[in-house]
């Protein structure tokens, strides 16, 4: 399948800042803050509604997110996680990704 995030997750394109057996993470090409990392499952999952693997979901949120927050230094002052889903959710790449954004004060509501 010709999915750009599958290619990045396989290490065929770009640079990974984190990798384990099931998950990869890399810097967003168009960062919206000083820290803007995308966390993706290595298997192709189109979006959060397709993520059936509870262990993988738990792994991302309880292990990978804290590790990357610490590694990028945003764990102390806080950060934002975003999972855009579908057209109205603003999803532009159809491979599930969790945005980890930080290093500046966030505003609310989002655009
Ligand atoms: P979303 O709009 O939630 O689907 O987010 C897609 C994100 O992927 C955007 O923030 C893009 O800047 C980012 N992006 C698209 N292509 C690449 C790429 N090749 N490498 C890194 N980030 C990318
Ligand atoms: Zn994919």
pLDDT tens figures, 73-87: 999 999 999 999 999
Q: Say if residue 15's pLDDT is above 90.
A: yes
pLDDT of residue 40: 98
Taking the C-alpha atoms of 106, 97, 57 and 8 in order, what is their torsion angle to the nearest 10 degrees?
-130
pTM summary value: 0.98
Pocket of ligand 1 from Cβ distances under 6 Å? 4, 14, 26, 28-30, 38, 84, 90-93
Q: Say if residue 92's pLDDT is above 90.
A: yes
C-beta of residue 72 within 8 angstroms of C-beta of residue 36: no
pLDDT digits (tens, 9 = 90+) for 96-108: 999 999 999 999 9
pLDDT of residue 51: 97
Ligand whose nearest atom lies closest to the CA of 9: 2
pLDDT digits (tens, 9 = 90+) for 40-63: 999 999 999 999 999 999 999 999
Average pLDDT taken over every residue of the chain? 97
The rounded Å distance from CA 85 to ligand 1 centre is 13
Mean pLDDT confidence for 3-24 = 98
Q: Say if residue 1's pLDDT is above 90.
A: no
The rounded distance, in Å, linking the Cα atoms of 44 and 94 is 9
The rounded Å distance from CA 7 to ligand 1 centre is 13
pLDDT of residue 111: 83
């Amino acid at each position: 399948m010709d999915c750009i995030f599958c290619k990045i997750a396989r290490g065929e394109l770009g640079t990974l800042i984190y990798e384990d057996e099931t998950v990869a993470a890399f810097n967003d090409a168009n960062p919206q803050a000083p820290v803007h990392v995308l966390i993706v499952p290595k298997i192709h999952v189109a979006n959060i509604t397709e993520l059936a693997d509870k262990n993988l979901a738990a792994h991302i949120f309880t292990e990978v997110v804290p590790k990357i927050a610490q590694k990028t230094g945003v764990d102390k002052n806080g950060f934002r996680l975003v999972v855009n889903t579908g057209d109205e959710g603003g999803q532009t790449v159809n491979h599930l990704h969790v945005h980890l954004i930080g290093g500046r004060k966030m505003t609310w509501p989002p655009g």
